[in-house]
C-alpha cells in the first residue's frame, strides 16, 4: 500500500512536501528565537532532497522512489521513541477502528495456534455467530486466498471489507470429514470495551479492555445494568472492582471521563506538558459521578498502560479507591495524530502525562532501535521521590503506578506453559466439543478427563522437556555446530546416564501441576461452549481478584488503607 501513495509525486515535490509537514502539519509557528532552528531544518531538508534525487537517478540498480522515501521516513523516526510512527493509509484506517471500537467485518477474533489460524472468540449477534461458526474452527481459506503460510495480519485484512460486501470462509472443524464454506455478509461490528461484567455477591466486577470513543458510555451502561441485576436478585451492588489489567490504554479524554464516573465533578485527573515549559494543560472531570461513594478497587499489572495508568493514578491520589496488583507499564507519553496527504498520518509524541500530585507516569524503557532519550536526568524514573495523595498518603515516583497492595498474579507452571505454547489445551477442547453436543450437567469427571487428555497428548506426539534437558540439548547443538565430535559424544553419554532422572523430574512436574492443568482444561472446554461462563470461572480463581474482594468486604481494612 505504501508504494502506491507517493507514485504520483515528482521527485522535486518530495522536499516541498516534507517542508510543508514540518512548518504547517505540526502546527509550529516560527518566532525570532527559533529562526536559527528553522534555518537548520530547511538546510537539512534540502540536503535530504539532494541525496534522495541523487540516489534515485544514479544508483546502479533501479530504485522504487516511493519505497525509498518511506524507508527514509521510517529511518528518521526510528531515532525517536517507538510511539512516534508513520502510518500509511491502511494503518491510519486501523488506528481509527481501534479508537472508534468499530469496524466492518464478521465478528470473530482469530489467533495463530500450532501453525493454524483458529477462531478464538465469536461476538454474539454478529454474522459469524448467526451463521454457526464457533470457537475452535480453523480457517483454511478466505475467498480465493489459501491461509497456509500467511501472516495473521494478512488473514485479518482478507476477512475485513466494506459493510454489505460478502466474504466466503472455508472452515475445518474437528471431527468433520469435509471443510464447510460459510458465505457471510460483512457488517459494522462494535467491539464493547467492557470485556466482562458480573456480580460477585454484592460486588460488581468490570473488566475493561481499552479506552475508545464509547468506553465511558459502555462502562456507565454496564454499571447501571449491574445495579438492575442486583435489584432483581433482591440485593444491592455495594462495591466495585474495575479491572484494567492488560489494558494498553487509548484516548486521553476518555480516561478523564472514565475517572469522572467515580470521582467528584471538577477533580483534577491528569496534566500534560510538552517541550514548551508553558505548555502544561490540566484535565478535570466535568460531570457528577455515576458511582457515588461505593468502595472501589482498581486492578493493574505490567501491561496496564497509558489511559489505564491515568485512571489508576487519579483514583489512587484522590484516595477514591484502592489500587491492587503489579506496577503498571509506565507509558506516559502523549501522541498527537497529524493528518498527511494520501490518507496517511504521523502519530507523534508531543507531551508527557503527570498525575494530580505531579508524578511522571513514563518509565525509562530499553527500546530496540530508539536512540532519543525522552526523559531528562531529573525525571529518569530511577529515583524514589515521595509524593502525597489527598489524604497525605505517601506514593512514589519511578514511572508507572505502584499499587497500594501488591499481589502476584497466577503464573503458569513450566508444564502448563509448554502445553499452552503447543496449543494442546485448545486443541483438546476442540476434540471434546466435537464429541459432546453440550457439557454434562453434573460437571466433567476430572479423572476421566485427565486420562483422556494424556492419551490425546501421546497421540499428538507431545513431548515435554524439563529445563535441564533443554539446556543440555542447546549445549549439544552448539558443540555439533563447532564440530567437536568427542565433546558431543560425551554429552550423549551424559544425557543417557541422566535420562531416568530427567524422566523422574518431568513426571514430578506433571504431577505437581495436575490440579491446575485439570482446572485450566475444564475452563478451556467451557470456553468452547460459553465464553462468558469460562471467563467467570477464571475470575473466581484469580488471586488478584480474590484480594480485591476480601478488602472490599472488610470496610475497616479498606478505610485504613485510604486514611492511615
Q: Measured in whole angstroms, how far is the alpha carbon of residue 464 from the centre of its chain?
A: 29
pLDDT at 372 over 70: no
pLDDT grade for 142, boundaries at 50, 70 and 90: very high
Residues in the chain: 564
CB distance 149 to 136 below 8 Å:
no
Residue 509 or residue 182, greater confidence: 182
CB distance 216 to 257 below 8 Å:
yes
pLDDT computed for residue 11 by the predictor: 36
pLDDT at 173 over 50: yes
- Over residues 384-403, mean pLDDT: 90
pLDDT at 137 over 60: yes
Residue 130: φ, ψ to 5° = -65, -30
pLDDT at 386 over 70: yes
Q: Measured in whole angstroms, how far is the alpha carbon of residue 235 from the centre of its chain?
A: 35
pLDDT at 93 over 80: no
Report which of 325, 351, 249 is spatially closest to residue 548, judged by C-alpha positions. Answer: 325
Report which secondary-structure segment, H or E, holds 181: strand 180-185
Q: Lowest mean pLDDT: which of 269-273, 312-316, 486-490?
A: 486-490
Query: How far is residue 393's CA from residue 23's CA, in Å, rounded to a whole number?
Result: 46
Q: Which residue has the cell 470461572?
A: 537
Query: How far is residue 410's CA from residue 73's CA, in Å, rounded to a whole number?
Result: 42
Give the domains, in start order, of the chain with CATH numbers: 2-79 (no CATH), 102-190 (2.30.42.10), 194-341+349-366+381-409 (3.90.226.10), 414-541 (no CATH)
Strand-pair category, 166-172 with 386-388:
unpaired
pLDDT computed for residue 4 by the predictor: 34
Residue 125 or residue 3, greater confidence: 125
pLDDT at 73 over 60: yes
Q: Lowest mean pLDDT: which of 285-289, 408-412, 530-534?
A: 408-412
pLDDT computed for residue 383 by the predictor: 55
pLDDT computed for residue 9 by the predictor: 34
Express each pLDDT in 233-244 by its tens digit.
999 999 999 999
- Over residues 329-339, mean pLDDT: 91
Residue 454, C-beta contacts closer than 8 angstroms, at least 6 positions apart: none
pLDDT at 2 over 50: no
Q: At what angle do helices 514-529 and 446-460 cross, to 10 degrees?
A: 90
At CA 42, angle to CA 39 and CA 44, rounded to 5? Answer: 110
Residue 19 or residue 389, greater confidence: 389
**Cα-Cα-Cα-Cα dihedral sign, residues 491, 496, 498, 499:** positive
- Over residues 479-500, mean pLDDT: 67
pTM recorded for the entire structure: 0.84
Q: Lowest mean pLDDT: which of 5-14, 152-161, 394-403, 530-539?
A: 5-14
Q: Cα dist. 81→330, 338, 520 in Å?
A: 14, 16, 39
pLDDT computed for residue 89 by the predictor: 81
Q: Which residue has the cell 466435537?
A: 434
Residue 384: φ, ψ to 5° = -125, 50
pLDDT computed for residue 381 by the predictor: 47
Average pLDDT score over the chain? 86
* DSSP for 448-489, written as a single string: HHHHHHHHHHHHHT-----HHHHHHHHHHHHHHHTT-HHHHH
Residue 116 or residue 398, greater confidence: 116
SS3 of 507-548: the string is HHHHHHCHHHHHHHHHHHHHHHHCHHHHHHHHHHCCHHHHHH
pLDDT computed for residue 499 by the predictor: 66
- Over residues 271-286, mean pLDDT: 90
- Over residues 97-119, mean pLDDT: 87
pLDDT grade for 7, boundaries at 50, 70 and 90: very low
Express each pLDDT in 16-66 by its tens digit.
334 334 333 444 455 555 677 778 888 888 898 898 889 988 999 988 888
- Over residues 515-528, mean pLDDT: 95
Q: Lowest mean pLDDT: which of 82-86, 115-119, 229-233, 296-300?
A: 82-86
Percentage of the chain modeled with pLDDT above 90? 59
pLDDT computed for residue 15 by the predictor: 38
Q: Lowest mean pLDDT: which of 73-77, 98-102, 412-416, 556-560?
A: 98-102
CB distance 354 to 273 below 8 Å:
yes
pLDDT at 552 over 50: yes
pLDDT computed for residue 445 by the predictor: 92
Amino acid at each position: 500500500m505504501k508504494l502506491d501513495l507517493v507514485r504520483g509525486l515528482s521527485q522535486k515535490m518530495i522536499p516541498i512536501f516534507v517542508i510543508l509537514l514540518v512548518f504547517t502539519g505540526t502546527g509550529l509557528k516560527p518566532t525570532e528565537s527559533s529562526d536559527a532552528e528553522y534555518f537548520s531544518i530547511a538546510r537539512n531538508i534540502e540536503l535530504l532532497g539532494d541525496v534522495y534525487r541523487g540516489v534515485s537517478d544514479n544508483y546502479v540498480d533501479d530504485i522504487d522512489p516511493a519505497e525509498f522515501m518511506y524507508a527514509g521516513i521510517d529511518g528518521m523516526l526510528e531515532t525517536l521513541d517507538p510511539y512516534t510512527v508513520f502510518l500509511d493509509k491502511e494503518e491510519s484506517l486501523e488506528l481509527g477502528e481501534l479508537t472508534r471500537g468499530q469496524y466492518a467485518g464478521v465478528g470473530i477474533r482469530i489467533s495463530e495456534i500450532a501453525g493454524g489460524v483458529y477462531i478464538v472468540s465469536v461476538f454474539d449477534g454478529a454474522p459469524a455467530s448467526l451463521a454457526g461458526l464457533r470457537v475452535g474452527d480453523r480457517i483454511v481459506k478466505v475467498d480465493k486466498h489459501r491461509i497456509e503460510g500467511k501472516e495473521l495480519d494478512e488473514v485479518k485484512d482478507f476477512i475485513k471489507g466494506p459493510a454489505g460486501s460478502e466474504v466466503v470462509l472455508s472452515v475445518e472443524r474437528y471431527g468433520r470429514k469435509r471443510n464447510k464454506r460459510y458465505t457471510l455478509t460483512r457488517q459494522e461490528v462494535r467491539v464493547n470495551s467492557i470485556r466482562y461484567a458480573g456480580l460477585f455477591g454484592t460486588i460488581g466486577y468490570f473488566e475493561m479492555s481499552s479506552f475508545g470513543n464509547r468506553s465511558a458510555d459502555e462502562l456507565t451502561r454496564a454499571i447501571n445494568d449491574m445495579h438492575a441485576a442486583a435489584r432483581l436478585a433482591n440485593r444491592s451492588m455495594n462495591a466495585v472492582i474495575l479491572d484494567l489489567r492488560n489494558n494498553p490504554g487509548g484516548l486521553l479524554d476518555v480516561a478523564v471521563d472514565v475517572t469522572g464516573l467515580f470521582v467528584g465533578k471538577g477533580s483534577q485527573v491528569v496534566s500534560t506538558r510538552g517541550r514548551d515549559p508553558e505548555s502544561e494543560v490540566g484535565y478535570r472531570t466535568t460531570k457528577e459521578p455515576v458511582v457515588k461513594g461505593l468502595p472501589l478497587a482498581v486492578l493493574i499489572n505490567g501491561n496496564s498502560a497509558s489511559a489505564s495508568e491515568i485512571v489508576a493514578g487519579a483514583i489512587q491520589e484522590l484516595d477514591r479507591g484502592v489500587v491492587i496488583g503489579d506496577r503498571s507499564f509506565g507509558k506516559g507519553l502523549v501522541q498527537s495524530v497529524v493528518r498527511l496527504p494520501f490518507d496517511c498520518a504521523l502519530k507523534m509524541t508531543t507531551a508527557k502525562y503527570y498525575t494530580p500530585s505531579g508524578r511522571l507516569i513514563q518509565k525509562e524503557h530499553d527500546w530496540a532501535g530508539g536512540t532519543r532519550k525522552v526523559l531528562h536526568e531529573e525525571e529518569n524514573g530511577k529515583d524514589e521521590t515521595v509524593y502525597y495523595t489527598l489524604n497525605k498518603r505517601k506514593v512514589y515516583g519511578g514511572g508507572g503506578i505502584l499499587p497500594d497492595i501488591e499481589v502476584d498474579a497466577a503464573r503458569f507452571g513450566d508444564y502448563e506453559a509448554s502445553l499452552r505454547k503447543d496449543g494442546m489445551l485448545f486443541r483438546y477442547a476442540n476434540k471434546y466439543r466435537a464429541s459432546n453436543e453440550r457439557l454434562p450437567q453434573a460437571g466433567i469427571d476430572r479423572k476421566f478427563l485427565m486420562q483422556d487428555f494424556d492419551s490425546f497428548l501421546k497421540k499428538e506426539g507431545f513431548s515435554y522437556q524439563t529445563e535441564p534437558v533443554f539446556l543440555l540439548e542447546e549445549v549439544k547443538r552448539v558443540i555439533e555446530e563447532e564440530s567437536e565430535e568427542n565433546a558431543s559424544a560425551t554429552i550423549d553419554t551424559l544425557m543417557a546416564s541422566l535420562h531416568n532422572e530427567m524422566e523422574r523430574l518431568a513426571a514430578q512436574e506433571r504431577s505437581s501441576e495436575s490440579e491446575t492443568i485439570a482446572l485450566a482444561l475444564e475452563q478451556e472446554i467451557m470456553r468452547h461452549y460459553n465464553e462468558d461462563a469460562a471467563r467467570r470461572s477464571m475470575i473466581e480463581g484469580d488471586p488478584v481478584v480474590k484480594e480485591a474482594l476480601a478488602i472490599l468486604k472488610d470496610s475497616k481494612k479498606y478505610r485504613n488503607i485510604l486514611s492511615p
